[in-house]
Structure 1
Amino acid sequence: MNKRLKLIAGIFWITTINCYAQIKEFDPLLDSKVTVIPAPSQEEWNSNYMWYPGQLAAFYQQQSAKISKERCVNVGYPGKFFAKNNRAYFKREIKLHKENNLRWEGPSDIILYVNGIKQSTTNKQITLPAGKSSLLFEVITNDSLPCIILKGDGMENPNEWQVSMDKNYWSIPESASMYNKPATRPDAPQNIIAQIKPQEILPMRNAKTIGTDGVQIGNGKSSVSCPLKPGDSTPLKHSTMPP
């Protein structure tokens, strides 16, 4: 009976410790003292990238599998993913009252057909004539999501375009407002850089404090000045001292 009680008590103690450890787990993005460094500013358009439904998930799956293989970790991904395709077509009919300039961005090869005629374009832009026109973009990639983003009056709304992978079955493209930067495609890695500053410095061995806001490490040839007070947000500084 005593052994059983000890076993139950041990299980309860281990569970309590695990729960406490999970509660105390550190998440940099939830720490008010952590500074998230903003990404460099990029040009933003009034439109968004668009792609064939399910293809972004397919390319995300490909990236996850590749990263997993590189880390030599056997990880399974539940669910059924679409097979990735490196070609997509985007089309729509337009009616312009005057000439209009159309620009686009996307992966490697993008071919534009106007009224069924292949266009020779430079700098991914073209001036469309007034009147009715049939536009067809063919996007071909090597190992990335076939997608496209457009800039031009009356031609930027993805809901007014159709997308296909075989030019037989057409659908409304997938899109999201967060993908409105032509320089960053939807399947590009979304990295967040955070600066984590120390709350306290405890000098040990060959280190000693300098005044109230610094610490000297080594034989005096170099020093590192760090915040010593909890909550101090002064950035880490490095300076060279005379021997």
Structure 2
Amino acid sequence: MKGRINAVLFDLDGTLLDTAPDMANAANQVLIEHGLTPLSKAQIQANTSHGARGLLRAGFGKEIEGKDVDALRLMFLKHYEKDICRATSMYSGVPELLQALTKQSIPWGIMTNKPGYLTHQLLTYFPDLQNAQALVCADTLPVAKPHPEPLILSAERLGVTPESCIYIGDIQNDIVAAKAAGMYSAVASWGYISTTTDPLDWEADLIFNNIEKVLSLF
């Protein structure tokens, strides 16, 4: 049974960082190399939190059939690594929130489905995020979200039980993973949510319309 919230875990893309411009740029380079049209704003908004595969599937559409998706993903990652922080930025209010959590001695960490080498490279541009007391990436364990184990490991590294932790993310798999881990779940509605998606359908414990409201938990 879940109890008092004593710690916060965040997703990265679409929750703490607006990485869409640089991720879309990498995907568009792959699309252009294959003679296809770059992604629309709506496609970028709906698919950035689904990573390379989500963006590429959106861009290739039916043409993805018969393609080596793993090879396309490697092309994407090569482009993305080269220009990982040309236009990426922290969402408004993130530095202040993280500083407030730290000041109140509330443990916080990051659990992302971004590969570890890219996550560490990206965080060098954002000192506030380097203060995370736990960092678990897609390849930290053999399984990734929506499997609950990465979240359970994150809580362990924060020194709290999963039941006393809340996970905040912007896609349904974030909520699925949190529920499976026994954590509280919350939607970051400022993230990459398609206009055709209703986060209420995800049945999260909370929906935050702005990041400052996270502090209302404490």
TM tier relative to shorter chain: under 0.3
Larger % of strand: which?
1
Query: Which structure shows the higher helix fraction?
Result: 2
Which structure ranks higher in relative contact order (CA pairs < 8 Å, sequence separation ≥ 6)?
A: 2
Q: Which has the larger radius of gyration?
A: 1
Instruction: Give TM-score, length-normalised by structure 1.
Output: 0.24
